[in-house]
Each structure stands twice: as structure tokens, then as C-alpha cells.
Chain A
Amino acid sequence: MTAEQNPPRLEVHGLTKTFGPVIANTDVSFNVARGEILCLLGENGAGKSTLSSCLYGFYRPDKGQILCDGMPVSFNSPRDAIARGIGMVHQHFVLVPSMTVVENIILGTHDHGWALNLEKKARKISDLCARYDISLDLNAKIWQLSVGEQQWVEIIKVLFLDAEVLILDEPTAVLTPHESKKLFAILQKMTADNLSIILISHKLEEVLQSDKIVVLRKGRIVGNVRTVDTTRSDLTSMMVGRPVMLRAERTDITPGAPVLQVSNLTVLNDKGQTAVNTMTFTVHEHEILGIAGVSGNGQTELFEALIGVRDSQTGHIQLSGKDLTHHSPMDAITNGIGYIPDDRFRAGLVGPFSVEDNTILGIQKRAEFADGPILNRRRIRNFARDAIDRFGIVTPGPQTRTDTLSGGNAQKVILAREFWSATKCILANQPTRGLDVGIIEYVHQILLEKRHKGFAIVLASEELEDILALSDRIAVVSKGQIMGVFHADEANIDQLGLLMAGQALENAA
């Protein structure tokens, strides 16, 4: 092949990067040729993001070499990387929501003079969109676009800079299955145009669409294979370092009485648009209702309305027959609703607080922790010590600042608190986002335990596999509406995918 005659488009030799005592990458070497898709596979914290940041000039590697077309290069800033034809699509969008698509794409491109030359640049953007079969309203503001469309903007942004090597960090995390397919069609076109792709992912079905796979574990390369020569199970055990039981054991239990009843609920988002549109559903004792859908389709607003931090426009919320509509978060807590948020350090924990203070956040007024208005430190500390033991929270002690904890341990602090205070219902919004496989298994297991004990559980996740593994029933949401509800054993991924993309099914139950 051409790679034999020409040097690879991008090559990495012995790259090492540390942050203080933390080693992010050790002796990493690989290469990617023109027209090739290379996949970097690894768990959270395996060092994929640091590696890509080094390739993009965001960080300087401590050791090792990066070569472009066989020439050693040294990147002091992303500008140097861009000049060498390297572009990056970040995992979290880096867009300016209040600006238009064109403005976002041309932002920071330095070609000529002071003038913006919007029209000339819009033409180049339209050409790029046409070549890759992407349709975008160039004068729309970013906040008006769907999440999928924003991802196309990110890709065009990189192509606009004439990138020849594209690094995409978890690009499908926010896409519907349909959009993901389209993304891979675009990537195929790019490789046909001789562009090189470095795809960062932890999803096996995507990884298998690449040409080469580099598996990272704890910052080291543990596998470097051609995709045709490998299998799913090989990749999984390489990635995790041990065989994994991805499916949690779920015993059959007959659901009991209805616990959480939501009828005709309509909720607005911050911009005053309808985010949740006349949703109706019921969750019973011993039941997990999975909410399947791409994030940004009203899940956050739904959960916020159920907790009481966001008021509803119409509809009712009932808990065990008691009307809770227009309730406050304190009502939700005292009535036995627990909440596990997706963004732990935003909605679940007070970062500068100690672990012990976070274990009683929201329940500090209970007689267990306070004598009248005065906190009882001794009882709080004993409670926190007990939580640390039971949930296996790794921390120097109950008085450690919570924001020094790892994501998994921080999540366990929330679990300890919510499972103590919740008596009837648990709302879990992406409870495993950003966690390692080990902790994911733990969270799944503990949710099933609570189901067994009779809790009604609402679980939202972007990972269809999670939903399928845990739920008794699955509600698919798109644009704030429930598109269909299935029993878990009746659901199939294709059907769910279509509904997630907003297409109504004739036979949707």
C-alpha cells in the first residue's frame, strides 16, 4: 500500500506526558496514513484525551516525538498543529451559542486583514457542506441548532482550516444512531479524499468501522491491531484488562402499585421554548423506567421538573397518589424522591464542602444530623464514616474536600446520600456518565438492588446498552415528547434508534 512507499501522515514515537504525580501517557507510539481511520480505544481515564491534546498542541509532551509526513515537528500551541494540517473536534462542543454558524466557523481563522469577508467565506463553507452532504443554515445562531447539527458545525470548522488529519474525540456521544451512521458516511468520504482520521471512542461497534485500532489502558498502549484481525471480545479484554460482564443480572419481579405518576407534563427550557411536551407516564414499585434519547431532548428539563427546581406549565406530578405539582425541591426530598444527576459537581455536590457535609446536603435539618437549628458534628461524622465504609468511597477521611475526589468516588458520595434519604423513588439522569467500567457495574448493580427493594426508578441514559440492560420498560423521547413505550424484552435497537431520531412508528405502543 501507499503507506509502504510514503511516510505516514502523522506518526507518534514514545510519547510520555505527566501532570505532577499523575502519568497520563507512557511511551505511546503509533501512526496514521493518508486515507486511513485510526481508532484510539480506551476506558475513561485511559489517557486518550491527553494524547489527542498533545497531538493538537494543547499540551507539550514530556518525552517523545511527533512526525508529520516523516518530518519531526514540535507544537507550542494549537496554531502550530493547525499549520501542519491537524484539526480537532472536541468532545464537548466549543461553540459560541449566541453567534451564527458562519461566525463560529471563521472565528480565529487568520488569513487576510481586518475585514470579515463573510460572503466569500460563506461560499467556501457552502462548498464544504455540499461536498460532504451536510445541510446547515449558515445564518442560524448556534443555540437554534439541534445537537446533531452542532456536531456538523464542529466538523466543518475543522475542515475550513484545511485540516488533513482530523482528531475526533467521542464524536457520537451526542448523536442519534441515525446521525452516527451519517457521521461515518462523512468520515468515509473524507478518507476517499485522502484525509486521515483519528477517532477516539469507547464504543465497540464504532471502533470496528475503522482501519486500525490502538488500545490504551492506564496511559499505555496495550494493543495495536488492524481491525480485520480482531474481535469485540479481544478488544474489550484489552481495554479493561479483565473479562467484563457488561450485562447486569436482572431478576423478574412483578411491578407493584404505581409510585410516580406524571400526566400531561409540559415544561419550558431557559429560553422559554417547550422542552417537555405533554409527557405522560407512570412508574411502579419494583420497576425501572428507562428514558432513551439523545441528550438535549428534554431529559434534563424533565428531571428538573420532577425534582422541583423547574416549574411545570401544565400537567400533574403525583407520588403514591399525593399531588406534588409545583412542588419545591425540599418537597421532593421529604417525600422520598432521590436524585442522581448527570453533572455531579454542578447539581449534586458542593465542591469545596467536605465529604461529610456533602453526605448530608439537603437533609441537614433532619433530627439525625441536627438538634433543632444546630448541626451535630459528631453524628454527621459517624454517618459519613459509615457511608464511606458501605460504599467503598476512597478518601483520606470525612473531612476531605469533595472536589479532590475522583469522579467515581464523588458519585458514590451522592449515591450514599440519595439512597439514605430516598424512600420511594429514584431519579437517575445519566448516572454512569464519565465513569470507569468498574464503577458503572457497581452503579447498575445498586440500582437493581433498589428495584428489588421496591423503589420506582427513572433512568435516563445516552447509552442504549445501559437502558436495555436495566429497564423493565423503555420510553423513547425526542424533542420533549414520548415517542413510544416498550417492554424491555420487546424492544430492538433499530426501532429505538428510529424513534430517537423523532420518526413516529405506526405500531408504537
Chain B
Amino acid sequence: MTISDYRIEKRTDVGAIGLFMQALIAITLAFVASGLLLTILGFDPVAAFDALHKGAFGTWRNAQGSLIHAAPLAFTGVAAAVAFRARIWSIGQEGQFFAGAMMAYFFTTFLNLPALIMVPLVILAGALGGGLMGGLSGTLKTRFNVNVVVSTVMLNYIIVYLLSYLLTSRIWMAPGEYYLQTDRIPKNARLPDLWPETDLHLGVVLAVLTIIGLHFLINHTTFGFSLRAFGDNAVAAHFKGVAPKRMTLIVLTLSGALAGLGGVVQSFGVDFRLSQTFLYGHGSAGLIVAVIAGLRPLSIGLVAFLFGALAKGGLFMQVMADISSAMISTMQAIILMFFLVTSVLFQYRLRRISQDV
């Protein structure tokens, strides 16, 4: 006689398709929960989400806007992913994003060169600024054994105060300016648009290239191999030739440089100014993007686009339905929480077991 029995088993690997399904379910649940929240706050969730959708994809121009919003998140996303793949818990993407934008802006304050030179220069400066910030956390860890979580969080706060100082002291602020923001970035330093009559700029292309590059680096190179080995088992990796301090320093610097590039892309491609409100929130959003994408660069591209759409649609939602932009950061966090919970469900599968008795 054969008895069928169902048993819950743990799986070792969810796989790319499983992860996709999981993200889909998490996002759906998050929309349901956000709809509930909106209802409680007295809004019509259907109207709100309709505005969100129209704002994000309603026209070709809006869809372009979503892409533009996605670009910086792609950078902070891969920045977080590189660190987390190595199991280095850096939360410094926010501050490194600021640092990248600030370093690039710093170069524009004393250099005025043709765009052909200036644009690559500010891009490199952004990587340098973020990389220095990340490298500082790395040095603090490897030289003084300062917890990476602590140093990156503290540096996030410190860099914001530094920008605030550079503005209020009017070192970077034009006389007579009312808002706390820098002068406009000169035209020859801005990231050029891809074609006339579009807002799509060089930064979007850079984001795509970076994502592909990181995918290749992590999965197909000897360095990526060492990085993954270090993240999955630092002890074994050390025995097999991966120097832990060196790897920590490299990863944090690389992660910082990527976040810094994001800062340049945002401020030199979109805002053309630096201000705390313009730069704020890209680090934490990127971190959520990275986690939901399972720390895989190509998936990060996809999730970043989704979050970019959320940000773009959120602006429209704010105008149309008078819903605070804080709703978007709340929704991002809700998506993350549902993703974490569904990840537990996806670790298990129901399996039919037949038994001969």
C-alpha cells in the first residue's frame, strides 16, 4: 500500500525565479497594506494608486522620468550589494552618495574646462568622494577595529552637517540665496542629455553599464570569486589566500565609490544643485533595492527601475491626491518588510512523499 504524505522541507537555494515570485508577492502585499494605510488616512487608495501609475508610466515622458529616478538608486543599490555580498554591513551609502556629489561639486568651484574634459572629471570626482568615505570606514575597521555599522552611520550624520556648514557659511551658497542650496552647476559640468528634448541623461547609461559591469565583476572574475568566498566563509577564504583586511578595505572603497557615482548622477544629471533635501533618502532606498534584488546586480537594475517609478509616480500622487511624499519612503520600507517575511515562506516547500507500507 502506498501512503502519500506531505511534508514541509527547507530548501537550500530559492533560485532566481523563486526570488522573482517572492518579490512579486511581497510588492503586491505591500500595495494592499499601503492601500489600507491610505484608507485609514482618509484617502481613496484607488485614486492614489491610479495617480501613482499615471505619474510613473502614463506617458513616454513619465516613463523616462521613472528611469531618471531609477539611475541613482541603481548605484546605491549595487553599492549596498557589493558590501553585503562580502558580508560587510555598511550602511554608509547615504553619506557616500552625499560625499560623491560634494566632491564633484568641489571640483566645479575651481575648475572650468570644456565639457569633454569636465564631465568625465566630475564623474571620477564623485567616485573619489564616495570611495574616500568608504575607504575611511574601511581603514577604521582594519586599523582600529571600529565596527562598520557604527562608523558608516556616524559618518552619514557627519557628512550632512558638513554640507550644511558649507551652505550656511555661504562658502558654497550664493549671497542672497534663500534656500539652503548651492549655486547652479555650470552647464559644461552637467551630464549631457542623450538626445534633444529628453531628460534622459548620461547618468542613466552609466547606471546600465555599471550594473552590467558589476554583474560581470562579481560572477565572472577572480576578484568576484574571492569576494563571494570571503562573504560566504571568511575563514576558509583566509586560509585560501584572501587577506581579510585587504578585502574589507577594497570592498568598502568600491562600495563607497559606486554610491558616490550615484550622487554625481543625481546632482549633475537632474538637480544641477546640491541640497540636503535633493540628496536625502537615496542611500536607504538603494539598500532596500539591493536586498529585494537578492544582491544580484542585474536584478538590482529591475528593482531600481520599479523604485524609480515609485518615486516618480509619488511626485504625481502628491500633486494629484495631496498625499505627502513620505508615503513613498513608507511604501519602500513596507515592501522591504513584506519581502523579509515572504522570504521565510519561500525557504520552505511542500513536498509529496510516497511511502510503501
Direct contact of A and B (CB under 8 A): yes
Tell whether, in the assembled complex, residue B9 and residue A374 are in contact, meaning their CB atoms are under 8 Å apart: no
- Which residues on the B side are within 8 Å of A348 (C-beta)? 236, 239
Of B108-116, B224-232, B249-257, the one touching chain A: B224-232
Within 8 A of B (CB), among A329-357: 329-330, 333, 339, 341, 345-353, 357
Q: Which residue of A21, A307, A330, A350 contacts B233 across the interface (Cβ within 8 Å)?
A: A350
User: A346 and B222 in contact (CB under 8 A), knowing A21-B353, A333-B240, A404-B12?
Assistant: no
Q: Which residue of B12, B221, B239 contacts A339 across the interface (Cβ within 8 Å)?
A: B239
Least Cβ distance of A3 to chain B in Å?
A: 36
- Which residues on the B side are within 8 Å of A373 (C-beta)? 221-223
Within 8 A of A (CB), among B1-49: 7, 9, 12-13
Least Cβ distance of B31 to chain A in Å?
A: 32
Judge whether A328 is part of the interface by a CB distance below 8 angstroms.
Answer: yes
Q: Which residue of B7, B220, B236 contacts A346 across the interface (Cβ within 8 Å)?
A: B236
Q: Which residue of B226, B228, B229, B241 contacts A329 across the interface (Cβ within 8 Å)?
A: B241
Judge whether B237 is part of the interface by a CB distance below 8 angstroms.
Answer: yes
Please, how many angstroms separate the alpha-carbon atoms of A401 and B233 in the complex?
Answer: 14
Tell whether, in the assembled complex, residue A349 and residue B222 are in contact, meaning their CB atoms are under 8 Å apart: no
Please, how many angstroms separate the alpha-carbon atoms of A370 and B225 in the complex?
Answer: 11
- Which residues on the A side are within 8 Å of B149 (C-beta)? none
- Which residues on the B side are within 8 Å of A328 (C-beta)? 241, 243
Judge whether A375 is part of the interface by a CB distance below 8 angstroms.
Answer: yes
Judge whether A364 is part of the interface by a CB distance below 8 angstroms.
Answer: yes
Tell whether, in the assembled complex, residue B232 and residue A351 are in contact, meaning their CB atoms are under 8 Å apart: yes
Q: Mark A75-110, 1 if CB is under 8 A from B, else 0.
A: 000000000000000000000000000000000000
Q: Which residue of A20, A309, A357, A375 contacts B238 across the interface (Cβ within 8 Å)?
A: A309
- Which residues on the B side are within 8 Å of A345 (C-beta)? 233, 236
Count, chain A residues at interface, CB 8 A: 32
Tell whether, in the assembled complex, residue B229 and residue A353 are in contact, meaning their CB atoms are under 8 Å apart: yes
- Which residues on the B side are within 8 Å of A307 (C-beta)? 239
Tell whether, in the assembled complex, residue B225 and residue A401 are in contact, meaning their CB atoms are under 8 Å apart: no
Tell whether, in the assembled complex, residue B240 and residue A329 are in contact, meaning their CB atoms are under 8 Å apart: yes
Judge whether B235 is part of the interface by a CB distance below 8 angstroms.
Answer: yes
Please, how many angstroms separate the alpha-carbon atoms of A370 and B235 in the complex?
Answer: 23
User: A329 and B239 in contact (CB under 8 A), knowing A20-B9, A353-B232, A403-B12?
Assistant: yes
Judge whether A362 is part of the interface by a CB distance below 8 angstroms.
Answer: yes
- Which residues on the B side are within 8 Å of A20 (C-beta)? 7, 9
Q: Which residue of B13, B226, B232 contacts A364 across the interface (Cβ within 8 Å)?
A: B226
Closest to B234 in A: A350
Tell whether, in the assembled complex, residue B9 and residue A361 are in contact, meaning their CB atoms are under 8 Å apart: no
Least Cβ distance of A395 to chain B in Å?
A: 13
Closest to B240 in A: A362
Residue with the highest number of chain A CB atoms closer than 10 Å, among B13, B229, B239: B239
Judge whether A365 is part of the interface by a CB distance below 8 angstroms.
Answer: yes
Least Cβ distance of B12 to chain A in Å?
A: 5
Tell whether, in the assembled complex, residue A361 and residue B353 are in contact, meaning their CB atoms are under 8 Å apart: no
Within 8 A of A (CB), among B198-249: 220-223, 225-226, 228-229, 232-233, 235-241, 243
Tell whether, in the assembled complex, residue B221 and residue A374 are in contact, meaning their CB atoms are under 8 Å apart: yes
- Which residues on the A side are within 8 Å of B243 (C-beta)? 328, 330
Please, how many angstroms separate the alpha-carbon atoms of A333 and B220 in the complex?
Answer: 22
Count, chain B residues at interface, CB 8 A: 23
Tell whether, in the assembled complex, residue B236 and residue A349 are in contact, meaning their CB atoms are under 8 Å apart: yes
Q: Which residue of B7, B9, B12, B221 contacts A401 across the interface (Cβ within 8 Å)?
A: B12
- Which residues on the B side are within 8 Å of A329 (C-beta)? 238-241
- Which residues on the B side are within 8 Å of A353 (C-beta)? 228-229, 232
Tell whether, in the assembled complex, residue A350 and residue B229 are in contact, meaning their CB atoms are under 8 Å apart: yes
Q: Which residue of A21, A341, A357 contacts B239 across the interface (Cβ within 8 Å)?
A: A341
Tell whether, in the assembled complex, residue A350 and residue B239 are in contact, meaning their CB atoms are under 8 Å apart: no
- Which residues on the B side are within 8 Å of A403 (C-beta)? 12
- Which residues on the B side are within 8 Å of A404 (C-beta)? 12
- Which residues on the B side are within 8 Å of A351 (C-beta)? 232-233
Least Cβ distance of A300 to chain B in Å?
A: 12
Q: Which residue of A309, A341, A347, A350 contacts B232 across the interface (Cβ within 8 Å)?
A: A350
Please, how many angstroms separate the alpha-carbon atoms of A357 and B226 in the complex?
Answer: 11
Closest to A343 in B: B235
- Which residues on the A side are within 8 Å of B223 (C-beta)? 373
Tell whether, in the assembled complex, residue B222 and residue A364 are in contact, meaning their CB atoms are under 8 Å apart: yes
Tell whether, in the assembled complex, residue B220 and residue A401 are in contact, meaning their CB atoms are under 8 Å apart: no
Q: Which residue of A333, A374, A377 contacts B241 across the interface (Cβ within 8 Å)?
A: A333
Please, how many angstroms separate the alpha-carbon atoms of A21 and B12 in the complex?
Answer: 16
Closest to B353 in A: A21
Least Cβ distance of A43 to chain B in Å?
A: 26
Least Cβ distance of B7 to chain A in Å?
A: 7
- Which residues on the A side are within 8 Å of B221 (C-beta)? 373-375
Please, how many angstroms separate the alpha-carbon atoms of A396 and B13 in the complex?
Answer: 15
Q: Mark B145-174, 1 if CB is under 8 A from A, else 0.
A: 000000000000000000000000000000
Q: Mark A302-339, 1 if CB is under 8 A from B, else 0.
A: 00000101000000000000000000111001000001
Closest to A366 in B: B222
Tell whether, in the assembled complex, residue A330 and residue B241 are in contact, meaning their CB atoms are under 8 Å apart: yes
**Listed A/B pairs (15) with beta-carbon separation below 8 Å:** A329-B238, A329-B239, A330-B241, A339-B239, A341-B239, A346-B236, A347-B236, A349-B236, A350-B236, A353-B229, A362-B239, A364-B222, A374-B220, A375-B220, A375-B225
Interface residues of B (CB under 8 A from A): 7, 9, 12-13, 220-223, 225-226, 228-229, 232-233, 235-241, 243, 353
Interface residues of A (CB under 8 A from B): 20-21, 307, 309, 328-330, 333, 339, 341, 345-353, 357, 361-362, 364-365, 370, 373-375, 377, 401, 403-404
Other contacts beyond A361-B236, A364-B225, A365-B222: 5, CB < 8 A: A357-B225, A361-B229, A361-B240, A362-B241, A373-B221
> Which 10 interchain pairs have the tightest Cβ spacing?
A362-B240, A330-B241, A350-B233, A350-B232, A361-B240, A352-B232, A365-B222, A362-B241, A329-B241, A347-B239
